[in-house]
Structure 1
Amino acid sequence: MDFNTIFQSQKQFFNSHQTKNVDFRRETLLKLKDLLKINEERLYEAIYKDFRKGRFDTFLTELNLVYNEIDFFLKNLDKLSKPKNVKTALSLQPGNSHIYYDPLGVTLIIGAWNYPYQLTLSPMVSAIAAGNTCTIKPSELPENIMHLLAELINNNFPSNYLYVAEGGIPETTELLKFRFDKIFFTGSPKVGQIVYEAAAKNLVPVTLELGGKSPAIVTETADLEVAAKRLVWGKFLNGGQTCIAPDYLLVQESVKGKLLQIIKEKLNEISYSDGAEHYTSIINKRNFDRLIGLIDESKVIYGGKSNPETLYLEPTIMDHVTWEDNVMKEEIFGPVFPVIAYKDYDEILQQIIDGEKPLAAYLFTKNEEEKEKLLSLVSFGGGCINDTLMHITSDYLPFGGIGNSGIGNYHGEFGFLTFSHQKSVIEKTNWGEPNWKYPPYTDKKMHWLKKVM
């Protein structure tokens, strides 16, 4: 279908004000949830075909989060969409102050391939909850998923309200030419720059959910068993293709040997074999070859096996890594885990600070001073103390990056605000207004002006 026709029809439908009706939004969310549940088996089949992601991981890291996001809005939409009364400044008395939450209008959501359901549908849920129309452009890399999402959405919702656009770079480039009221993009910083530049030509507001090299730090006070278990899970989930995965490991020199031994034991227990239900393949040959190129075989202490036919790459640990190694010069986005030992905690914090601001950071420690230093000195999108990844699961925490790792945030109320305009309104009475703000101005009026303001 012609994109211009879709865009104009969504603009017209939004201007009919139907999407502003809270009951209409709620009905749409219920319909979407039912549609996903009815087709859950097809969703599992499509993602397995695209990069061998298993049912359990797909439910845990994708559909479960989408369902939770829908349920959050079904429970809280009345409260979120209701105008909010706030304090009124003395200078505006007598009167009342309100914040109204207006939907932005016609929105564009560009999803990512690594979590193709979660990172495409969750922002769409926020856009719907806030009262917008939405054009959705899933990533073309998981092709079966793109086709399935297009079928489900386009066959069950009117295209002037919700529409999934199929295609690759040419189609995305064409969509970016339109003057949407909001663009929400999830992907790499490199492509994020292209999206941001295209949006700037039309002064379109943008939320960018990007990535970066997210550090994991283990200090000598950490519970090493817990740290190893949670690092292995967080790093190798989804084949390491997670924007908030621990990208590299910084471990205090005195406990490095013991931690790495426990990590190896955990990896052996879980057995991330080729075709394992709990282990995802690399998305395509290009990314597979890139990851192979980052591995320095002389530094591999675990793993390293690969199969180009199935795009399998075994969890790979590299020790004795330096900041100058190739693996430390770009976001890994795969199951390669470089390890750097440190002696001075303050020095490695400074090393992180000197780099690009990461999307996530993780610290394993029992030391309060170490925790406070990380949280007060290091700028990052979000993270965990003594865990990995789990901050993304909360509807009560904003998820997003800072600097090179992104602009803006979403999830729960924060997603609602991302797709809303907060409209400020002062409602004045018709009586009791002092005349000090009106000419002619006098010294006496200046006296009262200074007191009141």
Structure 2
Amino acid sequence: MLNSPPSPSPSRWFKSLRRTKSSDVKSCPALCSELLKRARAAFLAKRPSQETFRLSQLEGLMHMLEDHEGEFVDALSRDLQKPRFETVYSELMPVKNEAIYAINNLKKWMEPEPVERNLTTSLDDCFVVREPLGVVLIVGAWNSPVQLCLVPLIGAIAAGNCVITNPSEICSHTAELLHRLLPSYLDNECYHVIHGGPGDLTEIVDLEFDHIFFTGSSADGRKVMQAAARTLTPVTLVLGGKNPCYVDRDCDMGIAARRIAWARFLNSGQSMAAPDYVLCHTEVRERLVQALSSCLLQFYGPEPRQSSSYGRLVNAEHFALVRDLLQSSGKVAVGGQVNEAERYIAPTVLIDVLETDPAMQQEILGPILPVMTVDSADEALAFINQKPKPLCLYVYSSNSKVISQMMTCTSSGSFCSNDSTLQSMMVTLPFGGVGSSGMGSYHGRYSFETFSNKKSCVLRSTRIECITYLRYPPYEDRSLSLMTWASSMSRKGQGWCQIL
């Protein structure tokens, strides 16, 4: 138990971990297997079950972020050229909010939840308890390497689990920082960090964890689910997709453009929650594109490449992928400049985009915003509903009927009107996908539920047999009638006496 951060000198297992290269496919699963045994032993010894222990670990995470904020800013700058503002606002603050919310509510979450009873169980204690699952694996993603690793970790700790965390090696500086810092602030028997690349993933999943939490691409999500199925390991998958954004003719175009542009080009467009494409009326497209152009000029100046508020794509491979989407889809209306040496792609708006264009066939995860036109809200609805269910759906309109129609007639992991990505940062709302965009959710109480087993409990006495005996053979119709009456739930407003 850690009430205050210990000495930052790494433990022996961490030193051996530092020597493990992510390119060594055999060593990472082997090391993970050893750490899994240690974590399993710690879990069976009930180390993480006490409320005070869980709180101390959550406090440790808070101390880590506060003590090393500058190092996180530097690591994300080196990996993504992410501005300090974006790192603090979209990476560190959400993690701190999650930890604070869990600390404030943990006692209440851990309390047994009573359930409604019928006459048969009226003298029994009937309740649900949340028990930890065991040892869970959390696989983070590269586009928000701190938040997408630590937010689920907070939920797993709060629920009383032991955890093995696998930060994305693509953001190597951030991953290395997490490898170095987490062992200094969390219990070294219950919580471990591994270097695991894409080639290691299925072997690691095969090690029979009690739950797997994966954030990443749909292709990798399928591999994780297939591997987990072999051992019947439950999974939570937060996957990407094409997040639609409908801009109605009846809206404040200036506000809509600012909020869409900020969300789309935050982190150079490398966000799972960002609007992936826009649907708008033909007659408002020109106004929208002009408003987006004005916003980008205000945000990043005439040359975004020189702006300290604009980042870069994560690596050469991803740069090439996004550049190819840009060059093979629609027509550039705003931006379009690229610089391969810097992994730079300017904030870009595309028009005359076809449904069959490459940029409309896959998640972009880059600073490109395709704009397509529709003749009506109904046509936009039809377009959205013929596609796989998205992680997020956005609508900009001053018409409450249009907003309600978009919300009720579509299915998505989350929905937000007149803003973008806001819902994904709220600790009190669940965040996750549906269908091809994922399964399960997390954030706040929902993270605690994700990493808990809801155990049904009935505590009863052997003294009262006046009703129970009716269920025993030999069976009689009279006994069946009485047992059916005693075991049935009454309608609202009708008590047992009224039924009699």
Q: So what's the TM-score if we normalise by structure 1?
A: 0.97
Query: What amino acid maps onto 2:482 in structure 1?
Result: W
- Of the candidates 282, 285, 292, which is equivalent to residue 313 of structure 2? 282
CA contact (8 A) 2:471 2:480 kept: no
Query: What amino acid maps onto 2:129 in structure 1?
Result: Y
The residue correspondences of 1:328-339 to structure 2 (distance < 5 A) are 328-339=360-371
Say whether 1:327 aligns with 2:356.
no
Deviations 1:261-287 (A, max 9, x none): 111111111126125222120011111
Q: Which residue of 1 aligns with 2:459?
A: 427
**Secondary structure of the corresponding residue to residue 274 of structure 1:** helix
Q: Which residue of 1 aligns with 2:474?
A: 440
Tell me how far apart the structure 1 counterparts of residues 351 and 199 of structure 2 sit (CA, whole Å).
Answer: 42
Structure 2 stretches lacking a partner, 5+ long = 1-16, 18-30, 489-500
Tell me how far apart the structure 2 counterparts of residues 331 and 309 of structure 1 sit (CA, whole Å).
Answer: 24
**Secondary structure of the corresponding residue to residue 109 of structure 1:** strand
CA contact (8 A) 1:383 1:389 kept: no
Q: Which residue of 2 aligns with 1:400?
A: 432
Tell me how far apart the structure 2 counterparts of residues 186 and 297 of structure 1 sit (CA, whole Å).
Answer: 27
Q: Which residue of 2 aligns with 1:52?
A: 81
The CA RMSD measured in Å over matched residues stands at 1.4
- Of the candidates 414, 426, 445, which is equivalent to residue 413 of structure 1? 445
The residue correspondences of 1:294-305 to structure 2 (distance < 5 A) are 294-295=325-326, 296=328, 299-305=331-337
Query: What amino acid maps onto 2:208 in structure 1?
Result: R
Query: What amino acid maps onto 1:134 in structure 2?
Result: V
Say whether 1:365 aligns with 2:394.
no
CA contact (8 A) 1:49 1:144 kept: yes
- Of the candidates 5, 29, 47, which is equivalent to residue 18 of structure 1? 47
Q: Which residue of 1 aligns with 2:498?
A: none
CA contact (8 A) 2:83 2:309 kept: yes
Tell me how far apart the structure 2 counterparts of residues 384 and 223 of structure 1 sit (CA, whole Å).
Answer: 16
Query: What amino acid maps onto 1:266 in structure 2?
Result: C
Give 1:394 deviation, angstroms.
1.2
Say whether 1:148 aligns with 2:188.
no
Tell me how far apart the structure 2 counterparts of residues 55 and 367 of structure 1 sit (CA, whole Å).
Answer: 37
CA contact (8 A) 1:137 1:172 kept: no
**Secondary structure of the corresponding residue to residue 309 of structure 1:** helix
Tell me how far apart the structure 1 counterparts of residues 201 and 166 of structure 2 sit (CA, whole Å).
Answer: 7
Deviations 1:299-340 (A, max 9, x none): 111100011111110011111112121211111111111111
Say whether 1:451 aligns with 2:480.
no
Deviations 1:93-127 (A, max 9, x none): 32121111100010100000000000001100111
Tell me how far apart the structure 2 counterparts of residues 264 and 363 of structure 1 sit (CA, whole Å).
Answer: 20
Query: What amino acid maps onto 1:13 in structure 2?
Result: A
Tell me how far apart the structure 1 counterparts of residues 118 and 270 of structure 2 sit (CA, whole Å).
Answer: 50
Identity among equivalent positions (%) equals 35
Deviations 1:429-451 (A, max 9, x none): 33434022111111111222332
Q: Which residue of 2 aligns with 1:159?
A: 188
Tell me how far apart the structure 2 counterparts of residues 90 and 429 of structure 1 sit (CA, whole Å).
Answer: 15
Structure 1 stretches lacking a partner, 5+ long = none
Give 1:377 deviation, angstroms.
1.3
Give 1:172 deviation, angstroms.
2.9
Compared with structure 1, are the counterparts of its residues 192 and 447 closer, same or farther at alpha carbon in structure 2 (3 Å cutoff)?
same
After superposing the two structures, state which structure 1 stretch, 433-442 or 260-269, moved more. 433-442
The residue correspondences of 1:232-251 to structure 2 (distance < 5 A) are 232-251=261-280
The residue correspondences of 1:110-259 to structure 2 (distance < 5 A) are 110-259=139-288
CA contact (8 A) 2:329 2:354 kept: no
Tell me how far apart the structure 1 counterparts of residues 398 and 482 of structure 2 sit (CA, whole Å).
Answer: 56
Q: Which residue of 2 aligns with 1:385?
A: 417
Say whether 1:72 aligns with 2:104.
no
CA contact (8 A) 1:247 1:332 kept: yes
Deviations 1:210-244 (A, max 9, x none): 01000000111111111111000111001001001
Tell me how far apart the structure 2 counterparts of residues 315 and 336 of structure 1 sit (CA, whole Å).
Answer: 6
Tell me how far apart the structure 2 counterparts of residues 230 and 90 of structure 1 sit (CA, whole Å).
Answer: 55
Query: What amino acid maps onto 1:382 in structure 2?
Result: S
The size of the alignment, in residue pairs, is: 453
After superposing the two structures, state which structure 1 stretch, 258-267 or 161-170, moved more. 161-170
Q: Which residue of 2 aligns with 1:316?
A: 348
Q: Which residue of 2 aligns with 1:9?
A: 38
Give 1:158 deviation, angstroms.
4.0
**Secondary structure of the corresponding residue to residue 393 of structure 2:** strand
Tell me how far apart the structure 2 counterparts of residues 4 and 221 of structure 1 sit (CA, whole Å).
Answer: 57
Tell me how far apart the structure 2 counterparts of residues 103 and 297 of structure 1 sit (CA, whole Å).
Answer: 48
Tell me how far apart the structure 1 counterparts of residues 371 and 429 of structure 2 sit (CA, whole Å).
Answer: 30
Tell me how far apart the structure 1 counterparts of residues 383 and 202 of structure 2 sit (CA, whole Å).
Answer: 37
Tell me how far apart the structure 1 counterparts of residues 455 and 374 of structure 2 sit (CA, whole Å).
Answer: 50
Tell me how far apart the structure 1 counterparts of residues 184 and 447 of structure 2 sit (CA, whole Å).
Answer: 26
Q: So what's the TM-score if we normalise by structure 2?
A: 0.88
Query: What amino acid maps onto 2:214 in structure 1?
Result: F
Q: Which residue of 2 aligns with 1:108?
A: 137
Compared with structure 1, are the counterparts of its residues 298 and 173 closer, same or farther at alpha carbon in structure 2 (3 Å cutoff)?
closer
- Of the candidates 320, 323, 340, which is equivalent to residue 372 of structure 2? 340
